[in-house]
Amino acid sequence: MRGIDVLVFDAYGTLFDVNSISQAVEAVFPGKGTTLSKLWRTKQIEYTWLLSLMGRYLNFEEVTRRALRYTAKAMRVDLNAEIERELLSAYNHLKPFPETVEALTTLYKRYPLAILSNGTTHMLEAVTSHSGIRNLFQLILSVDSVRIYKPSPRVYSLVMEAFDVDRRSVGFVSSNAWDIAGAKAFGFSTFWINRAGQTEEALDLNADFILTDLRDLERLLRSKT
Amino acid sequence: MRGIDVLVFDAYGTLFDVNSISQAVEAVFPGKGTTLSKLWRTKQIEYTWLLSLMGRYLNFEEVTRRALRYTAKAMRVDLNAEIERELLSAYNHLKPFPETVEALTTLYKRYPLAILSNGTTHMLEAVTSHSGIRNLFQLILSVDSVRIYKPSPRVYSLVMEAFDVDRRSVGFVSSNAWDIAGAKAFGFSTFWINRAGQTEEALDLNADFILTDLRDLERLLRSKT
């Protein structure tokens, strides 16, 4: 696409399927895999917002642990240390979406690729390495260096410090509507991967492009070159 | 209670029952009253966090409108201008909880009372006047003056500018666990009105006291004098 100089990807939910966590949950809490992993994810994101707004910071591993503890308590399931460790480690072994590897491999030939994520560097290195795509990324940027979470502009600023480009020429790719809103507010060109047909936020910060998956993104960028 | 010099109340969900909105919703969208009003409320709060974190501000009337528009779209119901106006105005006519008036009337004799809320001054004046409790409050403090939402410390700071007291001697009363966490992080003495038996947040910012309703708060404060 004319004008896009670098592609920056959100990780969780965009490249990696956080729902694959539900299988790990199902294995230890039969019948509760879907509900528990969904609430866990909701709470995890909520805690990133709340802590950031309070001016406090716990890293994403710790936030994920706290959200899991809340969820287990709310759903009245017994979370011992071993199960907790096991479920948290599932976060480092998330599966990429079916089209992730192929789409990134193609895009990699034409754009510098980066990740900008709430995850810690440790988590992001682990999850990209385990799925064999680490080397496709020129940079992995973690909020951990600014100690505040998305959608704070301080997070999106990390891209500007890393690449010498205009905001508009950063193609930001996320499956989270609120992340797209934050990136749009910051001034990036935004590509919303809306796999589940979700509703757009009503904040006048809509995505520049709405796509169904990463293959669709690759196709769009090819057609517009 | 020894050491409490002023009582500061959250409004929505604490003094006023936001679920009473569901009746207004039910009247225009039969069968969807509960689900729609619940999603509306969730989105409303989510938008206050997201905008604050982006460094943007829309007042609570506008946030409530945007959240309603999102919800209507997500639930595929037809929201015309008239219905929108009607549902938004329901926010200014929320019912107090059954024990609110009596408990406040008793507490009023012993403490200066104030409200600290996400609502605009206009909304808060309207909802307290309609339920006949406006005069029980010495002050109504709105986030509108700092243009950021709870749980930002800038919001809780409004109390310190208004009353010449220590943080610990501010008794902060809210039914929202995350609001309690924010107030606790700020340094207030916190009273969580947990009507629905919700789970505490797992942020190490727990309430000093957990109560079932405002009558329970009145009883506690009386017993500890």
Nearest in space to A173 (alpha carbons), one of A130, A208, A125: A208
Is A212 found in the same domain as A157? yes
CATH number of the domain that residue A156 is part of = 3.40.50.1000
Q: Which residues pair with B189 in a beta bridge?
A: B171
Among the options B10, B17, B179, B216, which is catalytic? B10
How many contacts, defined by CB atoms under 8 Å, are there between A and B? 84
Residue A214 lies in a domain: yes
Q: Are residues A66 and A42 in the same domain?
A: yes
| A129 and A211 both lie in a single domain | yes
pLDDT of residue A2: 64
Encoded tokens for A142: 């973690």
Pair A11, A40 in one domain: no
In this prediction the pTM is: 0.96
* Stretch A97-113: mean pLDDT: 97
Within a domain: A211: yes
Q: Specify whether B74 is located in the same domain as B133.
A: no
| Structural domain count, chain B | 2
Report the catalytic residues of A.
10
Whether residue A57 lies within 8 A of chain B, CB to CB, comes out as no
pLDDT digits (tens, 9 = 90+) for A15-63: 999 888 999 999 999 999 999 999 999 999 999 999 999 999 999 999 9
Interchain CB contact of B196 with A (< 8 Å): no
Residue of B53, B66, B203 with shortest CB distance to A152: B53
Assigned domain for A33 exists = yes
Tell me, yes or no, whether B112 and B207 share the same domain: yes
Give the residue on B whose Cα is nearest the Cα of A74.
B199
Domain final residue, candidates A91, A121, A155:
A91
CA distance B63 to A81: 41
A50 touches chain B (CB under 8 A): yes
Does residue A25 belong to any structural domain of this protein? yes
Q: How many Å lie between the alpha carbon of A50 and the closest alpha carbon of chain B?
A: 7
Is there a single domain that holds both residue B207 and residue B141?
yes
Residues B126 and B43 in one domain: no
Query: Between chains, do B199 and A49 touch, taking CB under 8 Å as contact?
Result: no
Q: Look up the CATH number of the domain holding residue A75.
A: 1.10.150.240
Does residue B217 sit in the same domain as residue B159?
yes
Q: Does B66 touch chain A (CB under 8 A)?
A: yes
- The ipTM assigned to this model is 0.96
pLDDT tens profile A166-203: 999 999 999 999 999 999 999 999 999 999 999 999 99
The tens place of each residue's pLDDT in chain B, 225 residues long, gives 669 999 999 999 999 998 889 999 999 999 999 999 999 999 999 999 999 999 999 999 999 999 999 999 999 999 999 999 999 999 888 999 999 999 999 999 999 999 999 999 999 999 999 999 999 999 999 999 999 999 999 999 999 999 999 999 999 999 999 999 999 999 999 999 999 999 999 999 999 999 999 999 999 999 875
Among A199, A188, A225, A196, residue whose Cα is nearest residue A213: A196
Asked if residue A128 and residue A188 are part of one domain, the reply reads: yes
Enumerate the residues of chain B whose CB falls inside 8 A of the CB of residue A200: 70, 73
The DSSP code sequence of A14-83 is TTEEGGGHHHHHHHHSTT-HHHHHHHHHHHHHHHHHHHHHHT----HHHHHHHHHHHHHHHTT----HHH
Residues A151-160: tens digit of each pLDDT: 999 999 999 9
**Tokens representing B37?**
């009003």
Same domain (yes/no): B86, B127: no
Domain coverage including residue A53: 18-91
By Cβ distance, the residue of B185, B199, B203 closest to A74 is B199
In this prediction, residue B38 carries a pLDDT of 93
Q: Is A1 a member of any domain? A: no
Give catalytic status of residue B10 as yes or no. yes
Interchain proximity B73–A199, CB inside 8 Å: yes
Query: In chain A, which residues have their Cβ closer than 8 Å to the Cβ of B198?
Result: 74
Do the domain assignments include residue B1?
no
